[in-house]
Amino acid sequence: MKKLLTLLACALFATTLWAQQALWGGVPVVSPEINSDNTVTFRLKAPKAVKVQVTGDFLPTQKIKTPFGEFDGLGYADLKEGKDGVWEYTTPEPLAPELYSYSFVVDGLKIMDPSNVYMSRDVSSVTNVFIIGGGRADLYKVNDVPHGTVSRIWYDSPTLGMKRRMTVYTPAGYETSGKRYPVFYLLHGMGGDEEAWMALGRTSQIMDNLIAQGKAEPMIVVMTNGNASQEAAPGETSDGFVAPNMNLPKTMEGSFETAFPDVVKFVDKTYRTKANKKGRAIAGLSMGGYHSLHISKQYPDMFNYVGLFSAGIMPNKDVKSPIYEDFDKKLDVQFSKKPALYWIGIGKTDFLYQANVEFRKQLDQKGYKYTYLETGGGHIWRNWRIYLTEFASKLFK
């Protein structure tokens, strides 16, 4: 009997072990592994693969030609096959502190790293992410500081004739302080939505850390959906799981700018805001920078702080809207009212660089005061996170 019980126990142990291995995929492959010297090792178990590569923003860029011009694209590195069909690549140099994204390419097919559950979506592209800490990148991490609250909230837009969703960050202590707070409206780029600045821009982490360090004033951050035909981000609307894309109607033809007062009115009614020009800022990346430029000049008494991050400047020639008429006159009115900060940032290899050079020349010729930051790289989230940290630190002082 004792022998039988021992055999049953061994069988049960073996069965349990097999079940756990089946559940968790057997012996785990560690990837990415951040080494002590900040080199990073990527691994993928693919015993039948012929060629495995990793692509990501940690690699040297390569030039890509598009209808919008030539810009920096992601580089590639080859993994080498080792024991048990595990392919491996280690960066030859330590990586600088930053939030990085990457994917694998197996025999020409792009896949996610099955060993890394941390991913983000940029329009229709999904990538894995990891952080190398230190320096500015520590702002992108969740640290032991007071944390704000992030809400997804629906509002009515009479101008667009629909209910729409926005993402709102309120600083730590908002719920109990009874105070009124300034508001920073932060806008996404083409193809993005109200989730983009949270997932890719690390907005809540950046704001928590800047406020805790005394480098930014406590403020409300409102992240809207800049696609005026959408209720909300893909998958979060009555349309169901539609595929995200960049070719949406009502993006840069005046609808969003025309309807923006609906957003401000709702925020001032719903939250404890400082509901005046001195208590409002607006900024955005790419299309969001374009929106910020035109909204702020269309409503010159609404925003005291304006940020253009890798911004588009002027609409296509075939676009007709009252929003874009009398551009120079509206800009004159805006600057005659002396905004506290007009901030422009762009990367040296950004495809919108020349448009920003020409816009700055126009501002210079008029003697309009602005702050300018030029960084390396192109039209990338690495730059936009930098711009957010720099711009937010200058608000409402």
pLDDT in tens, 291-313: 999 999 999 999 999 999 999 99
Residue tagged 């012996």 (tokens)? 27
- In DSSP notation, 361-396 reads HHHHHHT---EEEEESSSS-HHHHHHHHHHHHTTTT
Determine whether 342 is exposed, middle or buried from the number of CB atoms within 10 Å of its CB (0-12, 13-18, 19+). buried
pLDDT of 24 higher than 90 = no
329-339: average pLDDT? 98
Residue 7 has pLDDT above 50, yes or no: no
pLDDT band for 66, please (50, 70, 90 cuts): low
Using CA atoms of 240, 246, 252, 258 in order, give the dihedral in degrees to the nearest 10: 20
Comparison of pLDDT for 392 and 24, the residue scoring more: 392
The larger pLDDT score, comparing residue 257 to residue 63, is at: 257
Whole-number mean pLDDT of the chain? 91
Give the residue among 389, 383, 318 at the shortest CA–CA distance from 353.
383
Share of the chain above pLDDT 90, in %: 82
Task: Count other Cβ atoms within 10 Å, centred on residue 174.
Answer: 18
Distance CA 390, CA 199 (A): 19
Q: Are 232 and 167 in contact (CB under 8 A)?
A: no
Look up tokens 């502190």; give the residue: 97
Q: Residue 377 contacts by C-beta under 8 Å, 6 or more apart in sequence?
A: 61, 72, 347, 348, 349, 350, 383
Q: Dump pLDDT digits (tens) for 180-193.
A: 999 999 999 999 99
Stronger pLDDT, 61 or 147, i.e. the higher one = 147
Fold entry, domain 26-133: Immunoglobulin-like (2.60.40)
Q: pLDDT tens digits, residue range 103-146?
A: 999 999 999 999 999 999 888 889 999 999 999 999 999 999 99
- From CA 323, how far away is CA 364, in angstroms rounded? 23
Report the predicted TM-score, pTM, of the whole model to 2 decimal places: 0.90
- At the top level of CATH, the class of 140-392 is alpha beta
pLDDT at position 19 over 60: no
State the sign of the Cα–Cα–Cα–Cα dihedral 167, 170, 172, 173.
negative
Domain chopping of the chain, boundaries: 26-133, 140-392
Vertex 54 angle, CA 50 and 58, to 5°: 165
Kindly report whether the peptide bond that precedes residue 32 is cis, defined as omega within 30 degrees of 0: yes
pLDDT value at residue 231: 92
Contact residues for 80 (Cβ-Cβ < 8 A; gap 6+): 87, 88, 89
pLDDT score, position 64 = 67
R_g of the chain computed on alpha carbons: 24
Q: What is the pLDDT of residues 204-236, one digit of tens each?
A: 999 999 999 999 999 999 999 999 999 988 889
| DSSP state letter for 122 | E
pLDDT tens digits along 234-272: 889 888 898 888 888 899 999 999 999 999 999 999 999
Structure tokens at 311: 């911004």
Pairing label, strands 341-347, 305-309: parallel
Which residues have CB under 8 Å from 14's CB, separation 6+? none
pLDDT of residue 13: 43
Residue 14 pLDDT level (bands cut at 50, 70, 90): very low
- What the block records as the tokens of 232 is 């909300």
Amino acid at site 107: D
Dihedrals φ, ψ of 57, to 5°? -80, 5
Q: Quote the tokens at residue 217.
A: 């004033």
For the chain, the straight-line distance linking the first and the last C-alpha, in angstroms and rounded, comes to: 81
Q: Is 378 exposed, middle or buried (0-12, 13-18, 19+ CB in 10 A)?
A: buried
In the structure encoding, which two tokens stand for residue 179, read together? 């105070």
pLDDT at 242: 87
pLDDT for 22 = 41
pLDDT over threshold 60, residue 6: no
In contact, 326 and 356? CB cutoff 8 Å: no
Tokens representing 46 are 């693919």
When pLDDT is cut at 50, 70 and 90, the band that residue 26 belongs to is low
26-133 with 140-392: one CATH topology? no
Strands 305-309 and 371-375: unpaired
Contact 204, 150 (CB under 8 A): yes
